[in-house]
Structure 1
Amino acid sequence: MTDLIAYVNANGKRSFADLPMTDVDGVILAQLAYVDFETLVAHHVTGFADLTDPVLMQHVVDLTWNPTANFNLLLALRSSPRFRNIRWHDLVKDTDTAAEKQFCAVTFDLGHDFHYIAYRGTTATLTDWKEDFNMTFMRDIPSQRSALRYYQKMATRHPGTYYLGGHSKGGNLAVFTCLHSRGFLQDRIQQVYSVDGPGTKKPLPVAIQSKVKKFIPQASIIGLLLEPETDYQVVKSNGIGFKQHDPFTWNVRGTGFDTLTTTSRFSQLTQQSVTSWLTQLDNATKQEFLDSLFSILKATHYQDFRDMGANWQTSLRLILKAISDTTPQIRHQWRSVTGQLLTTFVGELTDSVKPQLKLPEVHLPSLPTIKPFTKTK
């Protein structure tokens, strides 16, 4: 069994003409969206063959979720005839804290008028996570609209065939773009790769389903959020728990992934619980709850979860103070919303184990009806 880097080393001498785009290629290029291409372009590095400075290479992966693996991946790509001639261009980064938007995309030229647009997934910033959670109550989020406009511009500027892909939120952006493209713009999309990305809340039309390849690990949580579909491939991962969200933990077999028939019981239980919980909350309640939660986190004055973790004692003290300063209405809302999630989870767990253990009926206490906040002046 191998991983993404071993795949590059094993197949790096094969051209895309010899070995057309594989699922592993699609995941690798999606993962690369986390690399700091802005710095690379500033240093006139626009292709893997130009990666000659190891200090620069380390710098541009420092803020990725897995810096060591990403650095080793870049080393493998620059030495690979399959990948080293790939160029990138048209990097777009757009962060708007007020609009709760964090968007980044880059286009890879694969040669022969084939292009791959990689949408960056969720980073460690508060803005990024808040935008992700906004998917639960908004029809569309700012990054989704930007992703669609970005593809429309690229397809007009650089004619050819397109692959779209992204990890986590980036996968959702790729699917959203394909779903909302029309006419020749949709026809030009060859394949879409969603790498453990959240769903789009509604089933996809058949024409779109045929273009989308979605991969999730067996303990997936993120990839099953807002996902009504079951047309995804479950990949075996050697990670534990949430670490399976990292594609570098996924097992590769040959030129594809080592797949399983189903997700783990915990993954299924979590999906069922969260889906059931979200359907019980109206959009106003979701928005009020999330806004109040993130206002507490912002009270730490840190914009990045990594900074919070590095200064956890100070962060905790500020968070507790911010909680104590909230109104009684907000605290009551939190108890209601979180209590309902716990009740839903326990209910799903009871239904899951009862047939196997022949447990007696369990009647859970009902929680008070959740009402939208009463605004206070």
Structure 2
Amino acid sequence: MADLIHYVKTHAQTFSALPLTDVDGVILAQLAYVDFHALNRHHIHRLADLTDPLLIKDVVRLTWNAAANFNLLLTLQHSPRFRNIRWHDWIKSADLETEKQFCAVTFDLGPSTHYIAYRGTTATLTDWKEDFNMTFMRDIPSQRSALRYYQKQASRHPGTYFLGGHSKGGNLAVFTCLHSRGFLQNQIQRVFSVDGPGTKKPLPAAVQAKVTKFIPQASIIGLLLEPQTGYQVVKSNAFGFRQHDPFTWEVNNASFALLTTTSRFSQLTQQSVSTWLSQLDNATKKEFLDSLFSVLRATHYQDFRDMSANWEISVRLILKALSDTSPQVKHQWRTVTGQLIGTFFSGATETMKPQLKLPEVHLPALPRKKPLTKTK
């Protein structure tokens, strides 16, 4: 089975010979997770110069799939197609008070051709909280930062732009295109959303024409807040939530292996969560999420990895925080989670109805009995 790394090994053409493909767009979006701060400290700004395996191991250490990202960088370094790509204007900002975590980098693919990669969700509590804030906020801080970043780059480095990102990064890329005006939107050639959440409302036709959105067949994240069906379903060799990882997606030459529809479970989850969110007002969503994350922060860990590595301590602190919450909060939790469970099972029942319908049974006709005659 071909994957992202196999694609890099088998496509040696330069970008002038083979323009940016769907797979290129996903690979560059994935690179946003790399620790460019460490690379900048070593004065490395080109993939071909990334030759130290120990440094490569260090800059992918905190990514979701460190082994696959390590192999990807090793392969890109030798690729005639990718090795001369340069990056600049890497930015990373976090603000616990405003619940913002933002990161972006610009790649130069050729003269006046740029790709802005927005980083997706990491393992930090702040990142996850900002993601969930999308359900009730008109826009989140990272979305506004993504738009400003593109505006600044387009002013400094005029030319054609591609935007992309995985997970939350895909949402940031689409948001940026959606809210760019005039010349700035005209400069954007394509936008890649790699299993990124939607924008809650249908996109204008002009923006939708530029957006290429990929989701795996068991997608959950990519279908959140997504009112449209203008996405492509990619075949993955993984199971369940692991399909969110693009390294599990199957590649067919310069494209992805596509399916006609998502899985039944993915459809059920999207429908149930959408229905559930529509039942809650924004104030309830905010209060529920604030109380949920306050319990998680009681562990004093800011990263889910640290929480998992110290799970016994974490569980104990979470249980204590739960017991200390007010009766009003506990009641709200029961109400909100109860609505979600009820909506999910209601949707599951409707989904299963066609499968539970009993087949019609046709019994053979019974022979007619002869009428009884009286005996004398």
DSSP-derived class of the 1:115 partner: strand
Over aligned residues, Cα RMSD in angstroms? 0.6
DSSP-derived class of the 1:306 partner: helix
- Distance in 2 between residues matched to 1:16 and 1:133, nearest whole Å: 37
Q: How many Å apart are 1:355 and its aligned residue?
A: 2.4
Aligned partner of 1:278: which letter? L
- Distance in 2 between residues matched to 1:18 and 1:300, nearest whole Å: 53
Counterpart for residue 333 of structure 2: 334
- Distance in 2 between residues matched to 1:220 and 1:355, nearest whole Å: 23
- Distance in 2 between residues matched to 1:174 and 1:348, nearest whole Å: 32
- Distance in 1 between residues matched to 2:241 and 2:106, nearest whole Å: 29
Q: How many Å apart are 1:354 and its aligned residue?
A: 1.1
Counterpart for residue 319 of structure 2: 320
Q: Deviations over 1:6-47 (max 9, x none)?
A: 000000x21111111000000000000000001101110101
Structure 2: gaps (5+ residues):
359-376
- Distance in 2 between residues matched to 1:112 and 1:47, nearest whole Å: 15
Q: How many Å apart are 1:356 and its aligned residue?
A: 2.4
DSSP-derived class of the 2:138 partner: coil
Counterpart for residue 307 of structure 2: 308
Counterpart for residue 9 of structure 1: 9
- Distance in 2 between residues matched to 1:241 and 1:113, nearest whole Å: 40
- Distance in 1 between residues matched to 2:228 and 2:45, nearest whole Å: 37
Identity of aligned residues (%): 76
- Distance in 1 between residues matched to 2:51 and 2:348, nearest whole Å: 53
Q: Deviations over 1:82-117 (max 9, x none)?
A: 100000000110000111000000000001210000
- Distance in 1 between residues matched to 2:56 and 2:91, nearest whole Å: 20
Using structure 2 for the length normalisation, give the TM-score: 0.95
Q: Which has the larger radius of gyration?
A: 2
- Distance in 2 between residues matched to 1:175 and 1:221, nearest whole Å: 18
- Distance in 2 between residues matched to 1:201 and 1:328, nearest whole Å: 33
- Distance in 2 between residues matched to 1:38 and 1:193, nearest whole Å: 24
Counterpart for residue 225 of structure 1: 224
Q: Deviations over 1:165-200 (max 9, x none)?
A: 000000000000000000000000000000000000
Aligned partner of 2:9: which letter? N
DSSP-derived class of the 1:279 partner: helix
Counterpart for residue 257 of structure 1: 256
Aligned partner of 1:10: which letter? T
Q: Deviations over 1:269-314 (max 9, x none)?
A: 0000000000000000000000000000000000000001000000
Q: Does 1:131 align with 2:133?
A: no
Aligned partner of 2:230: which letter? D
- Distance in 1 between residues matched to 2:243 and 2:325, nearest whole Å: 36
- Distance in 2 between residues matched to 1:356 and 1:219, nearest whole Å: 20
Aligned partner of 1:257: which letter? F
4+ runs deviating over 3 angstroms: none
Counterpart for residue 364 of structure 1: none
Q: Any residues of structure 2 matched to 1:138-157 within 5 Å, and which?
A: 138-157=137-156
Structure 1: gaps (5+ residues):
360-377
- Distance in 2 between residues matched to 1:69 and 1:353, nearest whole Å: 38
Q: How many Å apart are 1:147 and its aligned residue?
A: 0.1
DSSP-derived class of the 1:132 partner: helix
Using structure 1 for the length normalisation, give the TM-score: 0.94
